[in-house]
Amino acid sequence: MTDDAPEQPQIYLVTPPAFDIDAFAPRLAAVLDATDIACLRLAHASSDADEVARAADALREIAHARDVPIVIERHLGMVERLGLDGVHLTDAARSVRKARKELGADPIVGAFCAASTHDGMTAGEAGADYISFGPVGDSPLGDGTRAEHDLFAWWSEMIELPVVAEGALTVALIEAIAPVTDFFAIGEEIWKADDPVAAMAALTAPLR
């Protein structure tokens, strides 16, 4: 994920926190085939290392067959072992320096920084490749703080590091934030639909 961003933001696809591999694999493949995806994030919430590794192996094959890089949420130790392209950290700037040191210069290191520009800048200085802010929409998760349009507007004007908008996205939010973000991370918004391809097309209609 680089900063030569096109005029419209790119789509960064996020898996559900739990899924059956056999059932999810064809749904994922269909979305990747129908949509131009910049990166895939494995956001598996299981604490069973074998289960996460099996999911990573299956999804890596699907993603790499389509030239889509895949990063794993949180599990830094699995990146090299499983042949993944990087890690998405969820503790703001705290683990970025360690991740960069362990992985080297090439793998992707992303950092979710909630709605804190300070954490975002700190993560960038520590070596993050992109910063993710959210939730953008209303969500009962976390403490209720939203990453507002002004945050993205300030970041896109002042900071060169690519920025990702995520969390409770709607068509209206995508339309509003598109001019001031590099990526939209989309996951639960489409996976709960019967047809995730159609759901993705409807959600991202403002980008076309």
| Residue 1 confidence (pLDDT) | 52
In a domain, 2, yes or no: no
Tell me the one-letter amino acid at 146: R
In a domain, 201, yes or no: no
Report how many domains make up the chain: 1
In a domain, 186, yes or no: yes
Closest C-alpha to 68, from 114, 15, 19: 15
Distance (Å) of CA 115 to CA 27, 50, 62, 135, 166? 31, 33, 32, 8, 11
Buried b / exposed e along 1-18 (16+ C-beta atoms within 10 A): beeebeeebbbbbbbbee
E-strand ranges in the chain read 10-14, 37-42, 70-73, 86-89, 108-112, 130-133, 163-166, 183-186
In a domain, 21, yes or no: yes
| Residue 134 confidence (pLDDT) | 97
Closest C-alpha to 181, from 144, 145, 206: 206
| Residue 159 confidence (pLDDT) | 96
In a domain, 4, yes or no: no
In a domain, 206, yes or no: no
| Residue 2 confidence (pLDDT) | 47
Name 109's Cβ contacts closer than 8 Å, sequence gap at least 6: 86, 87, 89, 96, 99, 100, 103, 127, 128, 129
Q: What is the pLDDT along the chain (208 residues), one digit of tens a residue?
A: 545 444 799 999 999 999 999 999 999 999 999 999 999 999 999 999 999 999 999 999 999 999 999 999 999 999 999 999 999 999 999 999 999 999 999 999 999 999 999 999 999 999 999 999 999 999 887 788 999 999 999 999 999 999 999 999 999 999 999 999 999 999 999 999 999 999 999 999 999 9
In a domain, 30, yes or no: yes
Residue span of the structural domain in which 177 resides = 10-194
In a domain, 87, yes or no: yes
Helices (runs of H) and strands (runs of E) counted in the chain: 8, 8
Residue 86 sits in a domain whose CATH number is 3.20.20.70
